[in-house]
Structure 1
Amino acid sequence: MADVVVPLTVRDLVAEDLYPGFAGWTDTHLAGTLEALERAKRGEVDFLAVCPPSGIPVATGGVDYAKPSGVPVLWQLEVDAPLRSCGIGSILIQALEERIRGRGLTSAELGIDENWPRPRALYERLGYVVVGREPGGWNRQAPDGTVTRYETMITVLRKTLA
């Protein structure tokens, strides 16, 4: 079997990329992302998409510069399930880190649900180290529209950017 190499580009995510059913996202997730794109217009966040030649995003994620700690926070990192473990998440994170460096900032932070060890392994491989734990939670919307509250513990990781 031969390897297939597909060129990827990283660009700003735009509202036109989003549609009902995008990447399996719920209406709540889509609405939150549209709100983040409005914040991007004000310079509070960057929200990126990784795309193959089709231009359709296969990975998305953001960096929020408006956190009280003053440390930019990577969030909403997502790679389409069939394409995980192909290096796309690393490309996305490195692009977000470049955006942070472009603002003259020298560190980045992210949080990971302690029930999800696989992404944590990626972040640690990319140089993020554990700096703490905190309670976390968010609303989750089921396909039938029912919203429930999910509570968990978050491991906080930080990286000093060269």
Structure 2
Amino acid sequence: MQSKAKTPVQYIAELPEDRKEVMQKLRETVKKNLPKGFEETMQYGMISYVVPHSIYPDGYHCKPTDALPFMSIASQKNHIGFYHSGIYTDPELLAWFVAEYPKHAKGKLDMGKSCIRFKNTKNVPFELLGELTTKVSVEQWIAKYESVLKK
């Protein structure tokens, strides 16, 4: 479900009532914990956190006019999605997250390669997601991104 919203505020305002509060809290959690240098924007129809061109002029290799994506949050048809490229590219970070998840959340972890899905909006572990947000700096993300590109 890609949104046509131009800003994160507009994105949240257009959500169904039962999704607005959790998405606003998730957005606030990310912004509070986001390492310096990442920028909030709309990208691919989601609220996204990117490395701006002012820091990484090359942009995203698939589409250089786009800033380098790192993390996104979205209200999908059947779940809230938390997309974190760090857990996709760093096995140690993924292992940490998988080990920590049961300490912070009810139910089984539901995730794909970089997407953590929350079907029940009452079970979003905001504190854990905030901590995950702090784990990768802009410099670390650029270095990891470039190391994967050059393989």
TM-score band (shorter)?
0.3 to 0.5
TM-score (norm 2): 0.34
Larger helix proportion of the pair: 2
* Bigger Rg, which one: 1
TM-score (norm 1): 0.32
Larger strand proportion of the pair: 1
Work out which structure has the larger RCO, using CA pairs closer than 8 Å and 6 or more positions apart in sequence: 2
